[in-house]
């Protein structure tokens, strides 16, 4: 095994000289941040039974809300100038937003077996307003079978941060045949439109035996104008494609800065409204419980299957399928197709114990320039024990990732996908809860 030893090199004198204080000061800098986030809300609501008749009733809730939010960042001068290598470039910013909302909800009880919900919410901010309705129904067909369905639309104003903020980061990107870290700045846009969504779900619950229950739900979510952060890799790839095609002065090229030697030094990004994201899938669950050993034993399994996760950046862009991918080259997030959880538990008297097994399906890495696009599946186990020490005190002991499984290897800057995997390994926890 080779041994490395320090080597002293005589430069121009008989002894080494200490670096000057001026040189040290020129190499060291400090970052500072003064900031504040404020939120003020005023709510008023009322609820009660509005109507009743033989075999049915209507419960109604009404409410209104005023909301004012603010956000401010004041960075130190070195960060404002971008002179600190790992802090990036972050300008100061501040912004605020006011919103008004009113809602109404009616719950209808139609006999013993049908329950329906009708609701609506109107929200306005900065001159933008939208009404969002919702309808849901549950029908107990028999004592063993229930059917349920829901439909709704959503509206969410862009946050103050997305409208006025500035976020510096140094992601690892692929540029000109090599992986490099680059300073990026994601700037807010005051002209962002509010996010809109539409959801639909259909499901059934079946209880064939006492204590045994199966459920199946199909769901679909359509998002339009979703507020997202642009991906640096997508801008870099577009600029490279423009250059290869002989184009100059394109929008993508104008957002990239290079040094005199051609090294990538900066990428300007923005919070944007994506044209659409459409996703659909299935949720399956099974639960069983019975009395055992003087307590209650339970077993459960849940599974989520994502059938589609289709992304369209703008109206003129092609639709991209993002299911089973890290989606580093677009605006999506890492999304394995399958996830599952299995649990065994027992509780009796003051004691309760639960064992959990988590499964995440393997998926692909779409990062540019990698040699292995596969990310393996992962299975981990947790154990939790709790004991009631008194009328209002609970003790909890837990072990997360009992077998100390490492996250699946992935060609990321850190060697794993931080969106899906947890790198901490085995984690012990102790909790003491006091109720008042």
Question: What local confidence, expressed as pLDDT, does residue 211 receive?
Answer: 93
- Chain centre to alpha carbon of residue 367: 19
Strands (E), 54-194: 56-75, 93-110, 114-125, 128-140, 145-156, 166-169, 172-175, 178-181, 183-187
Structure confidence by residue, pLDDT tens digits, 90-148? 888 899 999 999 999 999 999 889 999 999 999 998 878 899 999 999 999 999 999 99
Return the structure tokens found at 420: 């899906």
Q: Cβ–Cβ contacts within 10 Å for residue 173, how many?
A: 25
Nearest alpha carbon to residue 284 among 307, 308, 316: 307
Q: Cβ–Cβ contacts within 10 Å for residue 324, how many?
A: 19
Structure confidence by residue, pLDDT tens digits, 143-178? 999 999 999 999 888 999 899 988 888 888 999 988
**Dist. CA 12–CA 16, nearest whole Å:** 9
- Over residues 233-254, the mean pLDDT reads 94
Question: What local confidence, expressed as pLDDT, does residue 361 receive?
Answer: 97
pLDDT above 70 for 13: no
CB 123 within 8 A of CB 76: no
Structure confidence by residue, pLDDT tens digits, 182-226? 989 999 998 999 999 999 999 999 999 999 999 999 999 999 998
Structure confidence by residue, pLDDT tens digits, 323-381? 999 998 888 889 999 999 999 999 998 999 999 999 999 999 998 888 999 999 999 99
Question: What local confidence, expressed as pLDDT, does residue 27 receive?
Answer: 79
Question: What local confidence, expressed as pLDDT, does residue 25 receive?
Answer: 79
Question: What local confidence, expressed as pLDDT, does residue 384 receive?
Answer: 97
Residues linked to residue 17 through DSSP beta bridges, in sequence order: none
Q: Cβ–Cβ contacts within 10 Å for residue 273, how many?
A: 20
> Using the 8-state DSSP alphabet, how is residue 241 labeled?
H
Question: What local confidence, expressed as pLDDT, does residue 16 receive?
Answer: 67
CB 341 within 8 A of CB 299: no
CB 360 within 8 A of CB 350: no
Structure confidence by residue, pLDDT tens digits, 304-313? 999 999 998 7
Return the structure tokens found at 104: 């109404």
Please state the pTM of the whole predicted model. Answer: 0.81
- pLDDT, mean over the chain: 90
**Band of residue 85 on the pLDDT scale cut at 50, 70, 90:** low
Strands 338-348 and 178-181: unpaired
Question: What local confidence, expressed as pLDDT, does residue 86 receive?
Answer: 67
**Dist. CA 396–CA 385, nearest whole Å:** 6
**Dist. CA 270–CA 21, nearest whole Å:** 40
**Dist. CA 156–CA 429, nearest whole Å:** 36
pLDDT above 70 for 6: no
Nearest alpha carbon to residue 284 among 308, 269, 300: 300
pLDDT above 80 for 84: no
Question: What local confidence, expressed as pLDDT, does residue 15 receive?
Answer: 60
């Amino acid at each position: 095994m080779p041994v490395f030893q320090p080597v002293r090199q005589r430069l121009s004198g008989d002894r080494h000289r200490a670096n000057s204080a001026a040189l040290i000061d020129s190499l060291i800098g400090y970052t500072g941040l003064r900031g504040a986030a404020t939120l003020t809300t005023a709510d008023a609501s009322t609820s009660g039974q509005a109507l009743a008749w033989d075999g049915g009733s209507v419960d109604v809730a009404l409410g209104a809300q005023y909301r004012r939010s603010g956000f401010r960042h004041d960075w130190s001068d070195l960060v404002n100038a971008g002179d600190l290598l790992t802090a990036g470039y972050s300008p100061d910013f501040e912004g605020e937003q006011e919103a008004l909302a009113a809602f109404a909800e009616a719950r209808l009880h139609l006999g013993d077996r049908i329950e329906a919900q009708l609701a609506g919410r109107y929200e306005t901010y900065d001159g933008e307003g939208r009404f969002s309705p919702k309808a849901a129904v549950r029908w107990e067909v028999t004592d063993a079978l229930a059917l349920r369905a829901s439909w709704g639309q959503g509206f969410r104003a862009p946050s103050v941060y997305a409208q006025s903020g500035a976020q510096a980061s140094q992601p690892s990107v692929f540029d000109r045949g090599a992986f490099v870290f680059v300073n990026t700045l994601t700037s807010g846009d005051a002209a962002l439109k509010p996010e809109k969504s539409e959801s639909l779900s259909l499901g059934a619950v079946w209880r064939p035996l006492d204590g045994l229950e199966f459920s199946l739900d199909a769901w679909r979510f359509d998002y339009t104008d979703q507020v997202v952060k642009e991906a640096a890799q997508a801008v870099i790839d577009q600029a490279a494609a423009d250059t290869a095609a002989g184009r100059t002065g394109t929008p993508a090229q104008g957002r990239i800065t290079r040094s005199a030697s051609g090294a990538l030094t900066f990428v300007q990004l923005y919070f944007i409204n994506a044209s659409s994201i459409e996703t659909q899938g299935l949720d399956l669950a099974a639960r069983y419980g019975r009395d055992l050993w003087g307590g209650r034993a339970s077993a459960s399994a849940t599974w989520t299957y994502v059938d589609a996760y289709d992304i369209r950046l703008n109206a003129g862009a092609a639709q991209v399928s993002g299911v089973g991918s890290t989606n580093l080259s677009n605006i999506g997030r890492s999304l394995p197709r399958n996830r599952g959880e299995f649990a065994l538990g027992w509780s009796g008297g003051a004691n309760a114990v639960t064992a959990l097994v988590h499964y995440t399906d393997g998926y692909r890495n779409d990062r540019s320039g990698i040699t292995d696009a596969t990310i393996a599946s992962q299975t981990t186990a947790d154990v939790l024990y709790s004991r009631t020490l008194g009328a209002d005190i609970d003790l909890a002991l837990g072990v997360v990732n009992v077998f100390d499984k490492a996250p699946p290897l992935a060609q990321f800057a850190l060697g794993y996908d931080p969106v899906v995997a947890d790198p901490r390994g085995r984690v012990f926890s102790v909790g003491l809860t006091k109720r008042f």
